[in-house]
Amino acid sequence: MILACWERYHHDSESETLRNDADLRLCRSLDLQGTLDLETRNTPARRDFGGMNDVRPLGVLRPAAEEDVARLLRAASRSPTLTVAARGNGHSINGQAMAERGVVVEMGAMDGRMAVGHHLAYVDVGGGVLWEDLLKFCIGFGLAPRSWTDYLGLTVGGTLSNAGVSGQAFRHGPQSSNVSELQVVTGKGDIVICSEAENSDLFLAVLGGLGQFGIITRARVLLQPAPDMVRWIRVVYTDFEAFSEDAELLVSRRITESFDYVEGFAFVNSDDPVNGWDSVGLVPGQRVDPNRIPSGAGPLLYCLEVALNYRKHDSSKTVDKAVNEMLRSLRFLPGLRFTIDVSYLDFLLRVKKDEEEAKANGIWDAPHPWLNLFVSNRDIVKFDKFVFKEILKNGIGGPMLVYPMLRDKWDLRTSVVLPEGEIIYLIALLRFNRPHPEGPHVDDLVGQNQEIIQCCMTNGLDFKVYIPHYRAEDQWRRHFGKQWTKFVERKALYDPMAILAPSQRIFTRTH
């Protein structure tokens, strides 16, 4: 028995070595403008923001241009085993941009040139460019993309492969609804321009496509005039139903009567310095006065966060009037309203400060077992009851975002999957804990995420995991539901040998 095991092990590791050797030879034979590093012991591509996976690739490609990506993919199709994963800024949680014994393509190495196009309506940008850099470039022209993420240290190709949402999504849809053309290198190594009008099926497949159909090497991102300033406001609720009804009212109003940004979060009704009252103020010194909280309030309170864009020549009286009108009918607690005025750039880069602080105190590099969900508004009150008020009533050591978006701003022909309902909530559990043993054990937090998913299933809530992570095909089949067949058909068309993004574990490499 032991001998049989040893022989199998010996045989397996021998074929592993042969496989590695063949793929190494293939990689070495590539004629590239960029570089392909085959010494991967210390490469950052082994890790990601989640900090829970360590996967060593065979090589790391730093492409000079899309032709390098195409050459690599064409070569990979000559190997029975080689896989390829695009890596944006490695801000995935569960190793989605990794490739075990495959090649990771560092998209940030590619030509980052940006160009504003026809009538200032769009900007062409490389897939590996950070949204932060795109913002700074566009602001120079008085312009800005329309739809954002909260944090901008993410790449254009990385967020488009998921969706990309923030408080502007109710108005403009996700980032994946705000691009008009892409350049994609398919799994077959073809460089294809695609849009609604040209190769539209590939265009739709790649948006929200989890890196499965092609690597986005360029994107045409839609622009709008950039405002100068933002009035940024937070108000507090005790009652979840009042909070969610007000949030839904705001996102459903006509453009001229609504804020430009609507988000919200749940926080703990206590003096806990991370999860409690102190997490609400917009500047140091602004804090929730506990005397203003009714004595019957529950374990959690809710903060609605809104923002109104304006021009620097708008008088503060005009802005006050508009804001007061929009807040007039809302049911937040009197006296718990926090306001600041910031430049548009500072508003969009607001998470950068948190990043700097987290880096300084060591929690940026600790594991981040995050969970993101889309929940139908039909079930959001139940979600509050079963998940927020029960499982998460003591907080998570970071923000617990909850805010509504409108389904009709999403293009459901793309690969993104949503629950039913005209209004969909984003739930983001953004855990920032100290590493164990100072903080909780990461396995317990992963366990809590599973408990939340299980709780949603047991109570029949209509939800989908956003930025999903599953290990088996039947889970993916359930995730995609009615869209699974289409997803599989598109895979067969654009990446038939399942070379791309192997760590998503949706398909198995074939030859």
Site string for ligand FAD, 452-491 (x = CB under 6 A): ---------------x------------------------
Nearer to ligand FAD, 166 or 258 (CB): 166
Residue 377 lies near ligand FAD (rule: CB under 6 A): no
Min separation Cβ 166 and ligand FAD, Å: 5
Element (H, E) at 201: helix 200-206
Integer Cα distance of 23 and 181 in angstroms? 33
Least distance to ligand FAD from the beta carbon of 350, Å?
Answer: 11
d(CA 107, CA 56): 18
Q: Which long-range contacts (CB under 8 A, 24 or more apart) does 474-478 make?
A: 476/505, 476/506
Closer of 165 and 423 to ligand FAD (Cβ): 165
Q: Are strands 371-376 and 300-310 parallel, antiparallel or unpaired?
A: unpaired
**x/- string (CB under 6 A) for ligand FAD, residues 215-254?**
xx--------------------------------------
Q: Which of residues 36-75 bind ligand FAD (CB under 6 A)?
A: 49
Nearer to ligand FAD, 163 or 223 (CB): 163
130: alpha, beta or left, given left = phi > 0 and alpha = psi -120 to 50? beta
Q: In the complex, what is the shortest distance from the CB of residue 91 to ligand FAD, in angstroms, rounded to a whole number?
A: 3
Among 46, 71, 91, 171, binds ligand FAD (CB under 6 A): 91
Q: Is the peptide bond before 437 cis (omega within 30 degrees of 0)?
A: yes
Catalytic residue, chosen from 68, 106, 260, 263, is: 263
209 to each of 157, 206, 373, 417, how far by Cα in Å?
Answer: 11, 5, 17, 10
CB of residue 209 vs ligand FAD: minimum separation in angstroms?
7
Answer yes or no: 436 catalytic. no
Contact call for residue 288 and ligand FAD (CB under 6 A): no
User: Cα separation of 321 and 316, whole Å?
Assistant: 8
Q: Does the protein bind ligand FAD through residue 399 (CB under 6 A)?
A: no
Which of 317, 318, 321, 316 lies closest to 341, judged by CA?
Answer: 316
Of the listed 37, 67, 100, 150, which one is catalytic? 150
Closest distance between ligand FAD and the C-beta of residue 103, in Å?
A: 12
Among the listed residues 81, 83, 94, 149, the single contact to ligand FAD using CB under 6 A: 149
β-sheet bridge partners, residue 304: 235, 264
Residue at 432: amino acid letter: F
How many angstroms separate the first and last alpha carbons of the chain? 33
Decide if residue 97 touches ligand FAD (CB under 6 A): yes
Tell whether residue 90 is a contact of ligand FAD (CB under 6 A).
yes
To the query of whether residue 190 is one of the catalytic residues in this protein, the response is no
- State yes or no: residue 424 binds ligand FAD (CB under 6 A): no
CB count in 10 Å sphere of residue 119: 7
> Is 263 among the residues known to form the active site?
yes
- Nearer to ligand FAD among residue 161 and residue 258 (C-beta): 161
Q: List alpha helices for 331-434, DSSP H.
A: 344-348, 350-360, 380-383
Q: How far apart are CA 101 and CA 15, in angstroms?
A: 13
127 binds ligand FAD (CB under 6 A): yes
Among 45, 60, 70, 107, binds ligand FAD (CB under 6 A): 107
Contact flag: residue 159 with ligand FAD (CB under 6 A) = yes
Nearest 10 degrees: CA dihedral of 46, 205, 182, 123? -90
Annotated catalytic residues are 91, 150, 263
Where do contacts with ligand FAD occur on this chain (CB under 6 A)?
49, 85-92, 96-97, 107, 127, 149-151, 154-155, 157-159, 161-166, 210-211, 215-216, 467, 501, 504
